[in-house]
Every structure is written in C-alpha cells, then in structure tokens.
Structure 1
Amino acid sequence: MSNPSIHPTAIIEAGAKIGDRVNIGPFCHIGSEAVIGNDVEIASHVVILGATTLGDGAEVFPHAILGGDPQNTKHKGGRTTLIIGKNCVIREGVTMHRGTDSSRGTTTVGDNCMFLAYSHVAHDCEIGNSVTFSNNVMIGGHVTIGNNVIIGGGAALHQFVRVGHHAFIGGLAAVALDVIPYGMVIGNHAYLGGLNIVGMKRSGMARPEIHNMRRAVRMLFDRSKPVRARADDVREAFPQSPAVADLIDFITTDTKRAYCTPPLGSGIETSDSDDKS
C-alpha cells in the first residue's frame, strides 16, 4: 500500500492492492483480490469483493457492493472478474456483479461513467464510456451498452439486449429488444420513439449527417420489408454516410434480440424542438 488513508474500522484483506492517494471510509470491506487505482474515494460501508478492479479517480458512495458473485445458476464458482474504468461515479447502493465462469467471464465498465443510486449491473455485461444510469436502472446479464448512452430512472433492460452508442432510454422503459445507435426508446414494452437528436448534436455530428440519419431511419423502419432485409437498401441509398454505415453495421450484427421499432401504424419522430433545419 502507498499513502492510502484507511479508516481504522475498515477491513482490507491481505493481497488487496491499493493505489496512491486512496481514501477508504469507515466499515468498508475490501477483498483480497481487489485492485484499487490511484486517487480513489471510497465512502463508508462499501464492499468490494472478488477479482474486482476499480480504476483511477473513482468515487464510490455508501453501501455500494462491487464484484459480487453472478446471479446465474450456470456459474460454478470459478474465478471471474469485474473491471471498472477510470473516473467513474458510483452512488449509494449500486451493485455490480462479476462475470460467469461458463460465459464471458468478466463484466466491464468503461471510463467516465455515472451510476446513480441503487442501479444494478449484472454479470457478463459490457458497458462503454461516458454512460449514465439514473436511479434504480436495472440491466440483466450479457447486456452490451455503447458509449454515451443515457438510461432514465427505473428503466430495465432484458438480458442479451444491445444498446447502440448515443442512445437515450426513457425513464421506466422496459427494454426487451435491441436499441439502434442514436435511438430514443420509451414505454413498456419499449418502442422506438425517434432519434436522439440532442445527443447527435452534442457528439458533433454535422447537420447533413443528421439529415441522412433521419431519412435512413424512416427508410429502415417503413415496414415494406423486415428490418434486416431493408438494411442493404439503406446502405446502398447512403453510400457516403459514415453514420448510416455505422447504423447498418449494428443492424446486421448477429444478435439474440430483434430491434425496438416504432409502434405499428405510427411514423417515427426524428426531430427535436430546437432543431430549425
């Protein structure tokens, strides 16, 4: 250990690796295989179990439990991991589980993520950078979430769902199907309500590309053909658009789920209130 500040009531098991300038509060329990990066702040009553790595600059609030066993009956007790990136904020009561020894074997969280109170990350998930979970968000095992995704309070994601980068999931949504990049889904069960135009602008996407995406999404979900069958038509219609190519690559990747689509009989909203183009 190098220069950590550890409260006398905290339990640090032999073998744990604690970085520089780490503060560990009262009544914490850090397991023997834990690796804590530099400049980490761990408040009171935090539990870090198993082979869990917590990246530099993390801030963990009271009663978070990181690295618990996977809630999966196929897990037979083998060594699996939880890897959390740099500068993540993990609020009160958050739970994250390690991977399953019969599957991916690791749960990974990217850099600069924020997990608000009582949100849950299940086994074998893969979460990108700059992802936000609002309060009480729950995701099942094997979920994949791209960069810059925002998930509203109380939303739940079914196991094996994929969420594309820069997507927005509304509060209390029940997401049982894949969500396209830049998609915006709401409802129970969740449906595709439009594109996350605000997120597209914040990402620096140029206006012509936003227009390409609007037209491509309308074409993709026009119901004249199944979504995957329409994918080739959309790619051919926008051969010079990197954003559309990215969308079609997501659609044509093998997956265990279908896709969130607009409600039957409705169009898809692809604008926002401040878009004057």
Structure 2
Amino acid sequence: MMVDLVARPHDEARARPPVVHPSAVVSPGAKLGAGVRIGPFCTVGPDVVLEDGVELVSHVVVDGHTRIGRDARLFPFCTVGLAPQDLKYNGEPTRCEIGARTVIRENVTIHRGTATGIGITRVGSQCLVMANAHVAHDCVLGDRVIIVNNVVMGGHVEIADDARIMGSAALHQFVRIGRAAVVGGVCGVESDVIPYGGVLGNRARLVGLNWVWLRRNGVAGGDLHRLRRAFRLLYPRHAVNEVFERRLERVRAEFGDDPRVGEILNFIDAPSRRGLVRIATRGAGDDGEGAL
C-alpha cells in the first residue's frame, strides 16, 4: 500500500536554499546547507560548515575550521571557533564542532582547540549554552548538557552527557564532570565530579547524588537503593579511619556488577589530572538527597 508522506514544517524549511541577510559577511569558501538562515551583521569564515537548518540570529561570528550541526541556533553576539586564549597557539588549523539542535545563547564564546591539546573543541547535540558562558579550547561536552548563565571553564574540561552546570560556576582546566552530574551555582570546581554526583560550595564539595535526574530517568526501587548504599559506603556521612582505597575495594566487591555503580567506579579508575572532589563534612543533609 502506498502512503503519501506529508512533510513537516521544519523539513520544508530545510529544503529551501540558504537565506543570507544583505548585511552579513559570508566568505566564499563557507559551506551552507539547505535551509540555513544567516541574520543581520553575522560573519562566517571561509572554513566554516553550516549544516542544514542552522540559524545565526544576528551579529554572530563563526570562524576557523568550524562545523555547526543541523538545526543548531546561535543567538546575537556569540562567537564560535575563534582562536584559543593560549599563548602557545600559533595559528594551527585546529577545529571546533557544535552538535545538532544545540542552542548557543547571547555573548557565549566557544574557542577552537590547540595543537598542544586534542586539536578540537566539541559541544555535543541538543545542548543549551546560556548567555555569557565561556567554553575554552579543547573542551569536550557531551549530549544534552546544560551550561547556565556566566559559567566559565578552563581548557581541556570534559563534561559528559546530561550534566548540568549552574550559573556562574567556574571549572578548572582539565576537570572532568561525570554523566548526569550537577554543579551548583557559583561553585569553584577544582577536581573531578563523579557521574550522578552533586557538588555545592566554594570550593566545591560533594553533597550527594543527582536524585532528581535519576528518578526522572526511570531509576527507582532496588536500583536506586543499591546506588544509595554504594554511595554511602564510598562517601560516608561522618569521618572514618578507613582510607578511600579500602572503601573503593568494598564497593567494587559488593556493588561492582551494578551498571550505574560500575560507571562511577570506571570514572574513578580513569586517569585524572585533578583528582576527585571531596565529600562535604557538614551541611549535606541525608547524603544530599533532596538537595540536588
């Protein structure tokens, strides 16, 4: 049986040729996909690729070897792919990539990678980077990451899928933020945050797990209970004489077959330049549950 397919409005928009405002400056070498919209006073460099459906609202600058994924939207006065703030950078053709359906809000700066780093700065798909945030050279952000207003990060920061970085937080260079972790507002984060971890304060301290995200994503019952027990064993509420490595061995032996606990253990085992954020010694409540 033959079925007539009706195109959705955004599919029709992507089928249209690019629309470039007369005041925009688009270099001849730039590659523009179907349905691209470039608003007033934007500047697009010669090595830029804008995939289908990308919109540059106005006053946006995209330069360098930069690729913007389909249906991404960049708001006024953001800059993507410009040279990194690194004194060792000498004009090498490093890259920057923004994933599909990601939204970059006003005044955000995202710099391309460096030859002494991994050579690329990457922001994943379906991310939201809010106003005035800075994503430095060689940073790698996963999918569905939310970066709230005024967040700043040093170079080489890694932020895994579904993480949330709240307003005005500052991430030290080489810090790793695990999957679905949440960093509280005005946090100074100098060390790695475990997957599902929640940190608050200046300097940041671990106050619990991101129970809200876990419940919203279907973790409940016995799975949530095991994760809570493993966390309490690894990060006890009160000071203990047992060293962290011994607690880590106990968690590995008792809960190592649980996939989410295993994710935390693998994160801890991975090489790190910064070490792990420490547990808060007071004010965390019931292992942070309900706080994040």
The TM-score normalised by the length of structure 1 is: 0.94
Q: Write the distance in 2 (CA, Å) between the matches of 1:134 and 1:273.
A: 18
1:100 alignment partner in structure 2: 114
Q: Write the distance in 2 (CA, Å) between the matches of 1:244 and 1:144.
A: 20
Which residue of 99, 102, 112 corresponds with 1:85? 99
AA aligned opposite 2:290? D
Which residue of 217, 228, 242 corresponds with 1:214? 228
Aligned residues: 273
Q: Deviations over 1:236-257 (max 9, x none)?
A: 0114311111110111111011
Equivalent residues of 1:46, 1:62 under 8 A apart: yes
Q: How do 1:6-21 and structure 2 match up within 5 A?
A: 6-21=20-35
State percent identity of aligned pairs: 42
Q: Write the distance in 1 (CA, Å) between the matches of 2:91 and 2:242.
A: 46
1:230 alignment partner in structure 2: 247
Q: Write the distance in 2 (CA, Å) between the matches of 1:68 and 1:227.
A: 42
2:148 alignment partner in structure 1: 134
Uncovered stretches (5+) of structure 1, i.e. residues with no partner: none
Equivalent residues of 1:231, 1:252 under 8 A apart: no
AA aligned opposite 1:188? N
Bigger radius of gyration:
2
SS of alignment partner, residue 185 of structure 1: strand
Q: Deviations over 1:24-49 (max 9, x none)?
A: 00110000000001111111110001
Q: Write the distance in 1 (CA, Å) between the matches of 2:213 and 2:225.
A: 14
2:123 alignment partner in structure 1: 109
Q: Write the distance in 1 (CA, Å) between the matches of 2:69 and 2:173.
A: 26
Q: Write the distance in 2 (CA, Å) between the matches of 1:269 and 1:72.
A: 40
SS of alignment partner, residue 218 of structure 1: helix
Which residue of 152, 156, 162 corresponds with 2:166? 152
The TM-score normalised by the length of structure 2 is: 0.89
AA aligned opposite 1:17? K
Q: Write the distance in 2 (CA, Å) between the matches of 1:164 and 1:60.
A: 26
Equivalent residues of 2:232, 2:287 under 8 A apart: no
1:122 alignment partner in structure 2: 136
Uncovered stretches (5+) of structure 2, i.e. residues with no partner: 1-15
Q: Deviations over 1:122-176 (max 9, x none)?
A: 0001100000011001111000001101111111100000000001111111111
Q: Write the distance in 2 (CA, Å) between the matches of 1:128 and 1:119.
A: 16
Q: Write the distance in 2 (CA, Å) between the matches of 1:242 and 1:174.
A: 30
Q: How do 1:20-99 and structure 2 match up within 5 A?
A: 20-99=34-113
Q: Quote the offset at 1:210 in angstroms.
A: 1.5
Q: Quote the offset at 1:206 in angstroms.
A: 3.2
Residues 10 and 185 from structure 1, CA distance in 2 versus in 1: closer, same or farther, beyond 3 angstroms? same
Q: Write the distance in 2 (CA, Å) between the matches of 1:96 and 1:23.
A: 20
Residues 228 and 128 from structure 1, CA distance in 2 versus in 1: closer, same or farther, beyond 3 angstroms? farther
Q: Quote the offset at 1:216 in angstroms.
A: 1.1
Residues 50 and 15 from structure 1, CA distance in 2 versus in 1: closer, same or farther, beyond 3 angstroms? same
Equivalent residues of 1:7, 1:24 under 8 A apart: yes
